[in-house]
Amino acid sequence: MKNVISRPAYKLNGSIIIPSDKSLSHRAIMFASLANGKSIIKNCSNANDPMSTLRLFKMLGVNIEYVDAQTLSVSSGGVLSKPHHFLDCGNSGTTMRLMCGILAGQPFNSVLIGDDSLMSRPMKRVIEPLTMMGANLSAVDNRAPIHIFSSKLHGISYESKIASAQAKSCVLLAGLNADGETIYTEPSLSRNHTELMLKYMNADIECNGNKTFIRCSVLEPKVLNVVGDISSAAFFIVAASIVPGSDIILQNVGLNPTRTGIIDVIQKMGGDIEILDRKTVSGELAGDIRVRYSQLKACSIEGDMIPRLIDELPVIAVLATQAEGRTVIKNAEDLRNKETDRIHAIVTELRKLGANIADTSDGFIVNGKSLLKGAVEVESYNDHRLAMSLYVAGLICQKDIVIKNFEWVNISFPEFESLMQKLL
Ligand code: S3P
């Protein structure tokens, strides 16, 4: 148990390199393991969640070795072997949901488990479409442990009611190993890393708006270079936007348009944010971002925007406390199904600091601008993004705050505190 103090900041200044994207690192390890041959993954995240994925593929017989601290060599014959133990996904929803799609059509049985948080998260979103594809999965109350029994899969046309990249990726990965074509439609476009990376590895996949078509394919091994995580960059983007006098540069940030909602929100609020250098890395857009402090005004965030910033909403709540007026967040009910109920958690903790914030069934309403007082202890709810959002809130408090169980930041961003200290 590690309690961390976040102190009122003078200003943020300087330039940092944003560490590897978690979503892309999971997918790079998974898809390289499914490909027939040797792939190299450069700048792979070593945070706890992607490490859960890596551990699972080792248990499934894939040869994964470190070439250096952040480069992996993945050698696979394109087939997985039966694991001898339960497959433990730790805290990682991405691992569990995508693995369901990978394992459902394998010629062996397997069992997926996770930590207390993951075992309480809803899995119907993957169990339902996989069952329609001929999979045989058993999970009490649609929660892990998930027992997966070997089956032959066939393609389906599935219309999802939710915009979830994890659910979509699960079905597409099952479709990669199914007879016939699989068509997946979602109500708004969620992050499309699976589609882009599968295409990059020569899968038979096509995208048309919110619809994706995939057919059975063998993946080609590749060199996959993972860009920095915009969801990690978001904590610094918000911090620099609200701490007076700040001026920072964030290097090598992934700029896939399905992830850049945070940039649009800062712009909508009248913030000062600029993309300095654009490039394409292994099929994904990336660039450097400059952020400066500015006076912000409230805005509304809803609809198609939500999947483009779903993981940033806790830190956007902090941002909204410093924007003049009423910020309303709607259509974000899935936030209640994350590592913790993030609507309840962020509203409860920001209120302890003196913010004017109230929850609604599908989001929250913030009235700004508030002076946050500090001198309190806040809870991380064992949730990495809650812990880091509260750290950012601490930077604009009048007095220090203590964040409990801060070690959970290691789930996605072990370098968070040291990089923040570099800018302070
Ligand atoms: C992720 C998708 C999102 C996101 C999660 C990572 C992914 O979840 O919240 O942190 O890598 O596909 P949903 O697909 O459930 O929205």
User: Could you read off the pLDDT of 360-390 as tens digits, one per residue?
Assistant: 999 999 999 999 999 999 999 999 999 999 9
pLDDT at 140: 98
- Quick check: 25 pLDDT over 90? yes
Instruction: State yes or no: 23 annotated in a binding site.
Output: yes
When pLDDT is cut at 50, 70 and 90, the band that residue 344 belongs to is very high
When pLDDT is cut at 50, 70 and 90, the band that residue 164 belongs to is very high
Query: Which two three-digit tokens encode residue 281?
Result: 């890395």
What is the torsional sign of CA 111, 112, 115, 119?
negative
Please identify which of the residues 21, 311, 334, 359 carries the catalytic annotation. 311
Query: Which two three-digit tokens encode residue 134?
Result: 């001929």
- Asked if 224 and 197 count as a contact pair (C-beta separation under 8 A), the reply is yes
pLDDT (tens digit per residue) in 53-89: 999 999 999 999 999 999 999 999 999 999 999 999 9
> In 181-192, which positions are buried (b, 16+ CB within 10 angstroms) versus exposed (e)?
bbbbebbebbbb
Instruction: State yes or no: 292 annotated in a binding site.
Output: no
pTM of the model: 0.98
Q: Whose CA is nearest to atom 13 of ligand 1?
A: 164
Q: How far, in Å, is the centroid of ligand 1 from the Cα of 274?
A: 26
- Quick check: 1 pLDDT over 90? no
The most distant pair of C-alpha atoms in the chain lies apart, rounded to whole Å, by 61
- Quick check: 154 pLDDT over 90? yes
- Quick check: 146 pLDDT over 90? yes
Ligand 1 atom closest to 162 (CA): 16
Q: How far, in Å, is the centroid of ligand 1 from the Cα of 162?
A: 12
Instruction: Determine how β-strand 296-297 pairs with β-strand 284-292.
Output: unpaired
Q: d(Cα 95, Cα 166) in Å, to the nearest integer?
A: 9
Q: Whose CA is nearest to atom 16 of ligand 1?
A: 164
Angle at 171 between CA 165 and CA 173, to 5 degrees: 95
159: β partners: 185
Is 311 a residue of the active site?
yes
Average pLDDT over residues 83-100: 98
Say how many C-beta atoms besides its own lie within 10 A of residue 303's C-beta: 11
pLDDT at 21: 98
Q: How far, in Å, is the centroid of ligand 1 from the Cα of 164?
A: 6
pLDDT (tens digit per residue) in 193-222: 999 999 999 999 999 999 999 999 999 999
Q: How far, in Å, is the centroid of ligand 1 from the Cα of 372?
A: 30
Ligand 1 atom closest to 194 (CA): 12
Average pLDDT over residues 330-336: 98
- Asked if 97 and 169 count as a contact pair (C-beta separation under 8 A), the reply is yes
Nearest to 32 by CA among 53, 12, 17: 53
Q: Which residues line ligand 1 (CB under 6 A)?
A: 23, 94, 164-166, 169, 190-191, 310-311, 334
284: β partners: 281
Query: Which two three-digit tokens encode residue 121?
Result: 């998260």
Q: d(Cα 248, Cα 12) in Å, to the nearest integer?
A: 7
pLDDT (tens digit per residue) in 235-280: 999 999 999 999 999 999 999 999 999 999 999 999 999 999 899 9
Say how many C-beta atoms besides its own lie within 10 A of residue 58's C-beta: 14
Average pLDDT over residues 181-197: 98
205 phi and psi angles, rounded to 5 deg: -140, 140
Q: d(Cα 332, Cα 213) in Å, to the nearest integer?
A: 27
Which H, E and C letters describe the chain, residue by residue? CCCEEECCCCCCEEEEECCECHHHHHHHHHHHHHCEEEEEEECCCCCHHHHHHHHHHHHCCCEEEEEECCEEEEEEECCCCCCCCCEECCCCHHHHHHHHHHHCCCCCCEEEECCHHHHCCCCHHHHHHHHHCCCEEECHHHCCCEEEECCCCECCEEECCCCCHHHHHHHHHHHCCCECEEEEECCCCCCCHHHHHHHHCCCEEEEECCEEEEECCCCCCCEEECCECHHHHHHHHHHHHHCCCCEEEEEEEECCCCCCHHHHHHHHCCCEEEEEEEEEECCEEEEEEEEECCCEECCEECHHHHHHCHHHHHHHHHHHHCEEEEEEECCCHHHHHCCCCHHHHHHHHHHHCCCEEEEECCEEEEEECCCECCCCEECCCCCHHHHHHHHHHHHCECCCEEECCHHHHHHCCCCHHHHHHHHC
When the pLDDT of each residue in the chain is averaged and rounded to a whole number, the result is 98
Rounded to 10 deg, the angle between the 261-268 and 230-242 helix axes is 20
